[in-house]
Amino acid sequence: MAYKDLREWINRLDKEGELQRIDMEVDWNLELGAIIRRSYDLKERAPFFQKIKDYPKGYRVLGAPAGTSKNPNRYYARIAISFDMKEESSAEEIIEEYLKRKKFPLKPVTVKDGTCKENVLLDKDIDLTKFPVPLFHEGDGGRYIGTWHLVITKDPESEWVNWGMYRLMIHEKDSMGGIIDPAKHIGEMFFQKYKPRNLSMQYAVAIGTEPVSPIIACSFLPSGINEADIVGAIRKEPIELVKCETVDLFVPASSEIVIEGEILSDLMKPEGPFGEYTGYRAGMTSPKPVFKVNAITHRNDPILTVSCMGVPVDDCHACMSLTMAAEILEELREKRLPVKMVYCPPEAVTHMAVVSTKVPYPNFARKIAHTIWGSNAGMYIYWVVVVEDDVDVTKIDEVLHALTTRCHPYNGVSRVKNAPAAAFLLPFLPPKERLSGEGSYILFDCTWPKDWPKEAIPKKASFDTLWPKEIQKKVLSNWRNYGYKD
């Protein structure tokens, strides 16, 4: 059953032991961000701040909405709960369910009114600092109101409406700034279609929606796909949208906060830096487009949802490790490549894909790698690791074992120079390459060479391979009798 709004989902998190209500007053200036960051490090419950310094009662902040759980059997519990799956669902189960549901898009339904309209702020009443927006990290360029949200824009030449997640820093009470990457969908619209015509681009920002929308907003769907339709597919129920007050766009009707306006085609202001998903302060101060605010609407007692990005694993890493892996897996399957599973380890900040496969011919790992690098979802995958199908790609210990025992340090490694990259955020690139957008790709082939005779392939010394099935069965059936609990 789909959640009608953020608050219903928060109640479910609380019931499942994934929420920590913090009643003590917390300072929006660095303290709030530090608490969220510490919760990621410990894989603790999502902090729900009830009292923020300088703000009235009822103005609350939810942090780490998609953070991981310290219980190893519930690592992705918050995402599983968002999809209304069992809390203990594995990465593989969530990936397969995502792909299964995605096949049946459901268009949103339009409603005349929504709770997001309980308060409407126009003209002199517009004030982004009305909300307890954190200064997350020391050294940030400002207070970031957009860290777990939707940025909604429309293609001027078609019915394509993009929902994306792009960082947003407050400039003034009525303006924001953020990265508009030409390689992302918002950049495709802005730089290819609006800016050449000297047209401002209308936008709407929805904060505090039901839980599926932000997860899909930070996924890697192809151009031309309306994320709202996929949100309906994942929820198994259409999402309700309501028309904005001042722009020709529609937002989730139950949003906690909605910001409307225009991205100006002829004005830039310094934005950044910010503690980014790479785990470093990145995207240094530079001129970026300005988001002019024409209206703000919000619920009574609004809840601001935030992600305090940094070293993995945070919300971005957790979500994209699943949705990016799912999109890549679908691409490989559509090419009829014999892959078993794909996983993007969240610890690798979504820059790595691990693929398990049966190898039909020599150099097959290169075929997989180049297919990934040429795909929409794989454009930010710089490391590809290909393993045999006896390796569980969701278990980093098995991946590391394969990497260090099956990948020849010279013959098993392939490098690609001058690859496209989101260069300004990549810590490993020298300053010159960050400016030019030149990256590199690398493949680690951890599969056994096809020209080796069968007897030359080492046999894995594991419980399930070097003992007869009857012994395995006996040991498993007597495990508790030996004195072990699990």
Q: What is the pLDDT of residues 218-273, one digit of tens each?
A: 999 999 999 999 999 999 999 999 999 999 999 999 999 999 999 998 899 999 99
Distance CA(235)–CA(255), nearest Å, equals 16
**DSSP result, 318-336:** HHHHHHHHHHHHHHHHHTT
324-342 mean pLDDT = 97
Tally of CB atoms within 10 A around 138: 10
Task: Using CA atoms of 274, 277, 280, 286 in order, give the dihedral in degrees to the nearest 10.
Answer: -40
pTM of the predicted protein model: 0.93
User: What is the DSSP pairing of strand 352-357 with strand 339-343?
Assistant: antiparallel
Angle made by CA atoms 306, 14, 87, in degrees to the nearest 5: 90
pLDDT of residue 424: 67
The H-assigned helical ranges of 55-201 are 77-82, 91-102, 185-189
Work out the percent of the chain whose per-residue pLDDT is above 90: 86
Phi, psi (rounded to 5 degrees) for 194: -90, -55
User: What is the DSSP pairing of strand 339-343 with strand 281-282?
Assistant: unpaired
**Closest residue by Cα to residue 175 from 286, 270, 33, 77:** 270
Q: Report long-range pairs for 72-77 (Cβ below 8 Å, ≥24 apart).
A: 76/318, 76/322, 77/16, 77/18
Residue 15: in which H helix or E strand, if any?
Answer: helix 6-15
The residue whose two tokens read 């809390």 is 87
Q: Look up residue 241 and give its DSSP letter.
A: E
Distance CA(296)–CA(271), nearest Å, equals 21
pLDDT of residue 281: 86
Residue at 297: amino acid letter:
T
pLDDT at 112 over 70: yes
**Closest residue by Cα to residue 258 from 201, 216, 207, 203:** 207
Active site residues: 276
pLDDT tens-digit map of 415-465: 998 887 766 678 888 877 777 778 899 999 999 999 999 899 998 898 988
pLDDT at 486 over 80: no
Token code pair at residue 424: 């300004």
User: What is the DSSP pairing of strand 240-243 with strand 274-275?
Assistant: unpaired
Q: Which CATH superfamily is domain 335-456 in?
A: UbiD C-terminal domain-like (3.40.1670.10)
**Closest residue by Cα to residue 304 from 34, 87, 32, 35:** 32
pLDDT of residue 423: 60
Q: Where are the domains of the chain?
A: 83-306, 335-456
Q: pLDDT tier at 379 (50, 70, 90 boundaries)?
A: confident
Distance CA(411)–CA(346), nearest Å, equals 27
pLDDT at 380 over 80: yes
pLDDT tens-digit map of 129-163: 999 999 999 999 999 999 999 999 999 999 999 99
**Ramachandran sector of residue 208 (left: φ over 0; alpha: ψ -120 to 50; beta: rest):** left
Question: What's the CATH fold of domain 83-306?
Answer: Pnp Oxidase; Chain A (2.30.110)
271-297 mean pLDDT = 91
**Closest residue by Cα to residue 53 from 125, 134, 169:** 134
pLDDT tens-digit map of 22-46: 999 999 999 999 999 999 999 999 9
**Closest residue by Cα to residue 353 from 334, 369, 335:** 369
pLDDT tens-digit map of 170-216: 999 999 999 998 888 999 999 999 999 999 999 999 999 999 999 99
310-327 mean pLDDT = 95
